[in-house]
Structure 1
Amino acid sequence: AGIKDGKIVKDTVIVEPTSGNTGIGLAMVCAAKGLKLILTMPESMSLERRQLLSALGATIDLTPAVLGMKGAIDRASELNKEMQNSFMPQQFNNPANPQMHRETTALEILKDTDGKVDILVAAVGTGGSLTGIGEVLKEHNPDIVIIAVEPSSSPVLGGGKPGSHKIQGIGAGFIPTVLNTELFSEVIEVNDEDAFETSRNLAKNEGLLVGISAGANVWAASQIAARPENKGKTIVTILCDTGERYLSTSLYS
């Protein structure tokens, strides 16, 4: 969107906070476009994410883990203000974020389910996937139930206080601007160990090597599926990234 709007030219430096996955996507695009990229990221994010970003040519500015995602956002904002030729996509505020999910992910889900989705369960990082997918599915089926997922130790969507957790990629500690909070009717809280254990079980029992937030999504979806009133219903959730990005962590140790 920044390139289309003329905000990004060949000498522009892209600056963005990331927990890893958006940064990896940006690094791929910036490498292909010949653009310099500076990413701010909490130091608690996995080693593999840092290695991938470095391999793709991005400059990484690590922020204190105790400051969480907000620390990375604040640092990116500082860098953006210091440089005259920089551009910050701002994934937590950028309407292009959910729009991509409206145009791609949501349509893929409708195609794969023949348009029959009763419940959507989605963990919230930026809120882009829940918003983009949820809005399209809601248009297709006004009766769909949409459920948000967040870390139990940082339950801001449910009105609680932000806190530290180990589910990388979700639970930023604030309610993102792009998140349409009117879409979901319930919030499921997941603790670290349930998310970790579900990811491990998916690898061992299903052959799916997935990340921690995917485990959180599947754990929450399983709780919803176990309710008697949901018997026979089609429940969709997202496996957000690959477990190969977490081999250095305690996830698969």
Structure 2
Amino acid sequence: MLIHSITQAVRDTPLLELAHIKVPNGNKIYGKCEYANPAGGLKDRTGIYMIEQAQKSGILKENSVIVEATAGNTGLGLALATLHTPYRLILVIPEHFSKQKQSLIRALGAEVINTPQERGIQGALDKADELLSQIPNALSLGQFENGDNPKAHYFHTAREIYSELNGKIDYFIAGAGSGGSFSGIAKYLKEQNPSIKTMLCDPLGSHIGGFGKEDEGVCSHIEGIGNKTTPKTMDSTLVDKVLKISDTEAIEGVKMLSLKEGVLAGISSGACLMAALKLANEVYDSHIVTIFADRLERYIDERGIF
């Protein structure tokens, strides 16, 4: 396929049926390989779609400075989307998040500002607000409240999944940080077939959607999914069930994906695999779809996975 911009390679990622991991009870598990996007993740879609829509609406000007708080992957998507634009991009990232992701963001020309680990993503959001008040022509696309975040997945990711399986889907499982991908995909799938069950893969200690209060005080290191609050982009009414996953389980899932399937996907992908396998122990003869959101090399050294 000949392309004239690397952003044209975003979307239309493979959907992999797991063939070497033992899936019980006659079930089939499919993983949408979002790590195959050019900047290596699901949020390539989000960043590009939000920039496209902001340009169409006239929000962005030639002298605009975009300031965003991110765990890293949305930042990578935005950096890719703004590479050939006049916009300056400043990304605020908690200091303990993947150094590899931060280096990749810089490689695409964006600026990175770190905030203290103990403040988590809220600290990054607060710092972004401070910068927005200080920098002329600064604006935020607000991934945690921007309706174009879930729309990126409603109009593209979800339709790809549904088409690739000819609608033969019984369960969809995904994590949620901003909730954009979960909400956009789940909404579209349920519109096509209300009997599809959409389930949240959620780290221990996360309260997104109001779930998980029973593990108050637990601190998860599964980047990109989980949240202590519920962003506006997360539609909790779409959650049919929550599957809680520990860091240990997520790392086990990462190892299974790489050693059994040759899938070099990140820690949230390992969590989603383990959630899908938990579900597969409870149901029979079903098609279960999940998301492999980003690449393993962003975490492998810092997490000591291998």
Q: TM-score range by the shorter chain?
A: over 0.9
Q: Secondary structure at the match of 1:121?
A: strand
Deviation at residue 248 of structure 1 after TM alignment: 2.3
Deviation at residue 34 of structure 1 after TM alignment: 2.8
Aligned counterpart, 2:280: 225
1:72 is the counterpart of 2:72: no
1:196 is the counterpart of 2:248: no
Q: Report if the CA contact (8 A) 2:200-2:241 is conserved.
A: yes
1:238 is the counterpart of 2:291: yes
Aligned counterpart, 1:178: 233
Q: Report if the CA contact (8 A) 1:200-1:251 is conserved.
A: no
Whichever residue aligns with residue 82 of structure 1, its letter is Q
Match of 2:105 among 28, 38, 53: 53
Deviation at residue 247 of structure 1 after TM alignment: 2.8
Normalising by the residue count of structure 2, what TM-score does the alignment of the two structures yield? 0.79
CA distance in 2, matches of 1:29, 1:115: 31
Aligned counterpart, 2:168: 116
Q: Report if the CA contact (8 A) 1:196-1:251 is conserved.
A: no
Deviation at residue 252 of structure 1 after TM alignment: 2.9
Q: Show the 5 A alignment for 1:77-116.
A: 77-116=129-168
Q: 1:169 to 1:90 in 2, by over 3 A?
A: same
The alignment of Structure 1 onto Structure 2 pairs a total of residues equal to 251
Identical-residue share of aligned pairs (%): 37
Whichever residue aligns with residue 84 of structure 2, its letter is A
Whichever residue aligns with residue 163 of structure 2, its letter is K
Q: Which has the higher contact order (CA 8 A, sep 6+)?
A: 2
Q: Report if the CA contact (8 A) 2:207-2:229 is conserved.
A: no
Q: 1:163 to 1:183 in 2, by over 3 A?
A: same
Aligned counterpart, 1:28: 80
CA distance in 2, matches of 1:162, 1:26: 32
Deviation at residue 68 of structure 1 after TM alignment: 0.7
Whichever residue aligns with residue 106 of structure 2, its letter is S
Structure 2 residues without counterparts, runs of 5 or longer: 1-52
Normalising by the residue count of structure 1, what TM-score does the alignment of the two structures yield? 0.95
Deviations 1:82-139 (A, max 9, x none): 2230110110100000001011100110111111111111111110111110111001
Deviation at residue 155 of structure 1 after TM alignment: 3.6
1:158 is the counterpart of 2:211: yes
Q: Report if the CA contact (8 A) 1:149-1:188 is conserved.
A: yes
Q: Show the 5 A alignment for 1:142-157.
A: 142-156=194-208, 157=210
Deviation at residue 163 of structure 1 after TM alignment: 4.9
Deviations 1:38-83 (A, max 9, x none): 0000111111101101111111010111111111111111111222
CA distance in 2, matches of 1:130, 1:172: 13
Q: Secondary structure at the match of 1:153?
A: coil
CA distance in 2, matches of 1:31, 1:59: 12
CA distance in 1, matches of 2:305, 2:261: 15
Q: Report if the CA contact (8 A) 2:79-2:105 is conserved.
A: yes
Whichever residue aligns with residue 75 of structure 1, its letter is K
List structure 1 runs of 4+ shifted beyond 4 angstroms.
none
CA distance in 1, matches of 2:67, 2:221: 25
CA distance in 2, matches of 1:176, 1:234: 29
CA distance in 1, matches of 2:151, 2:132: 24
Deviation at residue 154 of structure 1 after TM alignment: 2.5
CA distance in 2, matches of 1:206, 1:144: 26
Structure 1 residues without counterparts, runs of 5 or longer: none
Aligned counterpart, 2:268: 213
Q: 1:247 to 1:176 in 2, by over 3 A?
A: same
Q: Report if the CA contact (8 A) 2:253-2:274 is conserved.
A: yes
Deviation at residue 200 of structure 1 after TM alignment: 1.3
